[in-house]
């Protein structure tokens, strides 16, 4: 018993690893034709787990997140996970944004006659939001927030007001185009 415990502890110690993280942040600014300034912040994180003694790579993960501001923090879009902002519309007193987000869809895979397993497949979905500004008294009091809207409302606003591109790296473009061509959205 003691030998087995020491062997297991020795293996765990020998296979232990360290994780190194590399974080890169890029800021892109664009002055739109309506004299509104959009600043897009993209933060990329690469984490690599390496064995202490073996120096083997046990896995690398990549993640990113986007944030953007309009007119130096007048409008702020953040905390959307790995969503990618694509288009923005400034219409009257409301701002609308279209973005892409990864979504996992569950499906059942039949392994045998009696066993089925739930599997997950990632797909990209389009989402639309409107910026609600409830600030008052020189914008010192009150709150701002984003609320989800239907695609039809966004499309209607697109015909009334100009739509602008938000700078991004098109991270989901390959997956999104493939899903769109296969009508999986």
Give the pLDDT of residue 164. Answer: 92
Q: Which residue has the higher pLDDT, 123 or 157?
A: 157
**Mean pLDDT to the nearest integer, 107-115:** 74
Higher-pLDDT residue of 26 and 17 is: 26
Express each pLDDT in 37-88 by its tens digit: 999 999 999 998 887 777 778 788 888 999 999 987 788 998 888 889 999 9
pLDDT at 73: 77
Dmax (CA) for the chain in angstroms is: 77
Q: What is the pLDDT of residue 3?
A: 76
What average pLDDT does this structure show over 4-11? Answer: 67
* Distance separating alpha carbons of residues 148 and 154, to the nearest angstrom: 10
Q: How do residues 141-184 score in pLDDT, each as one tens digit?
A: 778 888 999 999 999 998 999 999 999 888 877 665 555 555 55
Q: What is residue 90's predicted lDDT score, i.e. its pLDDT?
A: 92
Cβ atoms of 127 and 102 within 8 Å: the answer is no
Region for residue 140 given its phi and psi (left: phi exceeds 0; alpha: psi -120 to 50; beta: otherwise): alpha
pLDDT exceeds cutoff 90 at 14: no
Confidence (pLDDT) at 81 = 83
Confidence band, pLDDT 50/70/90 cuts, at residue 185: very low
Distances (CA, A) of 112 to 14, 116, 120, 130: 39, 7, 18, 47
CA-based Rg of the chain, rounded to a whole angstrom? 23
Mean pLDDT confidence for 1-23? 72
- The pTM of the full predicted model, rounded to 2 decimals, is 0.74
């Amino acid at each position: 018993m003691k030998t087995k415990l020491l062997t297991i502890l020795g293996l765990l110690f020998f296979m232990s690893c360290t994780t190194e993280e590399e974080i890169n942040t890029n800021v892109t600014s664009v002055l739109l034709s309506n004299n509104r300034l959009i600043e897009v912040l993209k933060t990329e994180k690469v984490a690599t787990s390496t064995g202490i003694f073996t120096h083997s790579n046990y896995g690398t993960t990549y993640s990113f997140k986007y944030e953007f501001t309009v007119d130096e923090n007048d409008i702020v879009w953040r905390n959307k996970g790995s969503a990618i902002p694509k288009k923005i519309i400034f219409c009257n007193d409301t701002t609308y944004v279209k973005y892409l987000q990864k979504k996992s869809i569950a499906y059942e895979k039949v392994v045998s006659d009696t066993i089925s397993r739930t599997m997950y497949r990632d797909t990209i979905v389009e989402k639309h939001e409107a910026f609600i500004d409830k600030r008052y008294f020189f914008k010192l009091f009150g709150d701002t927030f984003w609320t989800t809207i239907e695609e039809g409302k966004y499309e209607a606003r697109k015909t009334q007001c100009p739509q602008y591109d938000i700078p991004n790296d098109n991270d989901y473009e390959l997956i999104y185009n493939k899903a769109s061509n296969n009508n999986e959205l």
